[in-house]
Structure 1
Amino acid sequence: MLANMMFGAISGSAVASAAAVGGVMSPLQKKEGYDPAYSAAVNIASCPTGLLIPPSTTFIVYSLITGGTSIAALFVAGYLPGILMGLGLMVVAGIIAKRRGYGVAERPTRSEMCQKTKAAILPLGLIIIIMGGIIGGIFTATEASAVAVVYTLFLALVWYREITVRDLPKIILESAVTTSIVLLMIGCSIGMSKAMAFSDIPFYISDALLSISDNPYVILLVMNIALLIIGTFMDMTPALLIFTPIFLPVVEDLGMDPVHFGVMMTFNLCIGICTPPVGSALFIGCSVGKVAISKVLKPMLPFYGVLVVLLLAVTYIPEISLVLPRFFLGYGG
């Protein structure tokens, strides 16, 4: 789970995290006698944590949709909710593992820890460079992505020599294809959101929500239920693009901060990518774990439960999201 938190933060992708960490850990856990379905459930539940822990591409997309919500504030706001998500899942996983009597690995020696830490310093420096540059005002989030590419290219090409110059055309082509898919998805979603705006659908949805109750807690609860349902049928980026313009005016009328709402919405949709029928993390996690989805759903139930409880805490306790931006950035939104 800690590996997923760190890998997801670097890659910005829950699916990549589930594939990479699950691909390494699943065979080791199976060898140690862990239930493959439980191992897959642990991987699936924890892989979205990196979407909250910065640097997060999800927050960048949200900032673009809302027309300029501070990316630095969103990044800093994601730390506590992301760490709480990881810790909550760890507690549940630990309780289950202890009840089932799973073995505990030997503690590494001090020399082994120093050796591994030394080997990881340069790759982990990427997070320090990106977050330090954005929060310090040295470069924007867009410029940070270019800095990250240059830094990782230097490590892979020069320092570790894992790739050669001949590999670059293939890497660039694969990046262009991936980017084009995302851009096409964004373009279609923006078109749909504009069509909905011209049809006054956001107004009708807002009116319907406010007609249910004038109590902000009830409206936020209904909104969370709606987003949980939406997240089971739609991937995170399209859901953000389509429903942020619809729900944001409603929560702003309730006096909710846009940074707080962005964290709440991201947390909510993180649960959606772990649920059937179209949860991308669920499918990838089951694939690398070599287990059927039907066998993973039961072990996932305790994790779903703690995620929903933490979602409600993030929703109704604004300081979980806003205390760090206010302390470090003087954010007053």
Structure 2
Amino acid sequence: VRINFRFLPFPALQSKGMEKGNDSLVTEFIFMGLTDQPELQLPLLFLFLGIYVVTMVGNLGMITLIILSPHLHTPMYYFLCCLSFIDLSLSTVIIPKMLVNFVSEKNTISYPACMTQFCFFAFFAISECHLLAVMAYDRYIAICNPLRYNIMMSYQVCSWLVVGVYALALVITTIDSGCLLRVFFCKENGINHYFCDLLPLLKLACSSTYVNQLVNLSTSIFNVLCPILIIICSYVLIIASILKIPSTEGRSKAFSTCSSHIAAVGVFFGSITFMYLKPSSMSSMDQEKVSSLFYTIVVPMLNPFIYSLRNKDVKIALKKVKKKTILL
């Protein structure tokens, strides 16, 4: 009995497999957006265009005001300037593409552009999480250790804290992005979202996402719970210190310096916690889109107003800048 064997050369097998894989890999994604109703596209376009203009004017105005006003050159306003830059950048990463999608027939984004958008979004969102914790620490030092404030929060210390925030955000973004780049996207390319976020992308994967989900849970816990714990501990000590102040006016003034930060923290971390630290069965993707609107679009617009409306220093600085502008 003679048996004939037929071998397929390895290079031919490899090229055949690669050709099949390349045919099935996704090269672009399609955004489902906020709604599929055509009559709402134009109103939403004007709404988010207005929000973006207000965000740009508010945050650029805050940055300019802090730079031009010497009496605002303190650690508190230095961190606030950095927060305005982050909010401005976060909005710019998401809203312009979102506006284009409202007027486009096909809301597509290429695979490289989608990965790039996710990287920048993750970097600025993570930076904001940890910067808010740094700002809470700054308020703790200012109220609980006022005599040592200038030493403990010197220019060098503030600079290193901000550099640390950005470096930490860069490391975590690199980890999340590296894990996402390992995922294969085959047939499904419709993202049920208005930008390239991690969770909607993982739902389209045709390869295992176990590692991604584990890494995402770990980084989310670190980026959300760690800053929240720092903020809570800072404000527990701050409240305990404020209650020891004998005068009502002194307690009121101390509380007023913290109220703006508490409001910003509540809205930002409330929405981001709902998005990333909940079981996947608790909400639909539509609810998650509404939640993400707060920390990606609403909070960056509101922060300049939250920090300026009840802030006497900002109001005084604004009046001085107006006078100088009029004299010029």
Query: What interval of TM-score do these two structures reach, taking the shorter chain for normalisation?
Result: under 0.3
State which structure, 1 or 2, has the greater radius of gyration over its C-alpha atoms: 2
State the TM-score, normalized to the length of structure 1: 0.28
